[in-house]
Chains A and B, each alone.
Chain A
Amino acid sequence: ADGGDEPAPAAAPGRAQVFSTVVDTFLEKLVAAGSYQRFVSCYRCFYKLQPQLTRSIYDQFISQLQASIKEEIQEVKNEGNLEGLFSLLDKIVEEAKDRQEPAWRPSGVPARDVRSALVPFLLRHRAHLRRALQERQRRSSSLAQEVLTGRDSIAELQQLIQARQQAWQ
């Protein structure tokens, strides 16, 4: 019942460390299960003939098996960049240690999940539009002022002309 009763997943031992510890424990227990006694009891006939050779074959078998398994584990680590991902995940988990409630998870409905991802862009767009609108409103209200004074000065000119015209009549 102790195939790897590691301490709780606290921040103390990193994931990478837990990973190797668990794999090492697995190998230890595997070797313990396939003990020399067990080997001899299976290959009794050969052992009777060649006891010393049996020992050396067994030793080689075990060390080769261990080496191969360790190599494979290393390869998996390299391929998946596990060391980097483990320490990154450790950091993320450590940062989240103060929050208790379950975090967001993909809902499985892309349309729903994409909403929140779009919101910051839309908010930036809104801020931009609001600024642009204010700018435009400011511009057109000053233009409107200009137009009104223009109309006034045209009316003035027209009155002036009318006066001159009447003077000539």
Chain B
Amino acid sequence: MSVDPMIYEAQFFGFTPQTCMLRVYIAFQDYLFEMMLVVEGVMLKKLDGIPGCKISPSKIRKCTEKFLLFLKEHFDKLFSKMEEVLLQLVLNIPKNVLLPEDRVQEQYPYSEEQFQALQDELQQLQQQCRAEAVLEQELRAELEEQKVVKAELEKILQCFDGLENICREHGAGNFKESFALLTQSSKKLQDVLKEVEEKSKKMNQHDHLM
């Protein structure tokens, strides 16, 4: 038999077919030898019971050896024939057969390059995911910051509102307008004052002259 380790069969059966056959062979052989010894033993015992028997145990032993030799020869031939048939037809996985546990091998016959490409793609995806997570964190951080800034700005606006309210409560609804009015009337007052002063100056001169 050619040296076929039959590893795929071993994967399926859990033992190599040859080991199985060897075990059976040895067991059969043991039985054969054992039975022959029993046969011999029965004969010797029987001969013991016959008075004046001329057949010696060694003669019987020779007979046993003769029969055993003959039988063993046939036994070996028959067994190797049986083994051949069993290994070929029974303990054999035909070349075209794939075991169910290996279906992935034909479903995904990835070459080294394809496999590497797949792994690279995975790595890239993972990096993208990580980058996206960082981006998300940054965006969330900015949103938080925006909340704080908005609150500050709104506070400032409220300050302006408060300022205007105070002005309005004290009769200066519109500060700019009232300021303009005030300037206008103070100018008028100044003009009037100047006029009055001039007039009084003239009157004084007039008094002196008089």
CB of B59 within 8 A of CB of A45, answer: yes
Per the 8 Å Cβ criterion, residues 81-136 of A in contact with B are 82, 85-86, 89, 92-93, 96, 99-106, 112-113, 115-120, 122-123, 125-126, 129-130, 132-133, 136
Number of interface residues of A (CB under 8 A): 85
A110 to chain B, nearest CB (A): 13
Contact (Cβ within 8 A) A130 B125: yes
User: Does B89 lie within 8 Å of A6, measured CB to CB?
Assistant: yes
Q: Are A69 and B31 in contact, CB atoms less than 8 angstroms apart?
A: yes
Q: What chain B residues lie within 8 Å of A115 (beta carbons)?
A: 108, 110, 112, 115
B189 contacts which chain A residues (CB < 8 A)? none
Q: Which of B15, B31, B50 has the most CB of A within 10 A?
A: B31
The one of B82, B93, B142 that contacts A4, using a Cβ cutoff of 8 Å: B82
Contact of B182 with A by CB under 8 A: no
Interface check B121, CB cutoff 8 A: yes
Q: Which residues of A contact B38 (CB under 8 A)?
A: 61, 64
- Number of residues on chain B facing chain A (CB within 8 A): 93
> How far apart are A79's CB and chain B's nearest CB, in angstroms?
9
How many angstroms between the C-alpha atoms of A53 and B150 in the bound complex?
119
Which of A3, A22, A23, A147 contacts B139, CB < 8 Å? A147
26 pairs from A and B in contact (CB 8 Å cutoff): A3-B78, A19-B86, A22-B86, A29-B74, A33-B78, A44-B63, A49-B47, A64-B38, A65-B31, A68-B34, A72-B27, A72-B31, A76-B23, A80-B14, A80-B20, A92-B99, A103-B98, A104-B98, A115-B115, A130-B125, A143-B143, A146-B143, A153-B150, A157-B153, A161-B157, A168-B160
Q: Could you tell me which B residues sit within 8 Å of A by CB distance?
A: 7-8, 11-15, 20, 23-24, 27-28, 31-32, 34-36, 38-39, 42-43, 46-47, 50, 53, 55, 59-60, 63-64, 66-67, 70-71, 74-75, 77-79, 81-82, 84-86, 88-90, 92-100, 102, 104-110, 112, 115, 118-119, 121-122, 125-126, 128-129, 132-133, 135-136, 139-140, 142-143, 146, 149-150, 153-154, 156-157, 160, 163, 175-176
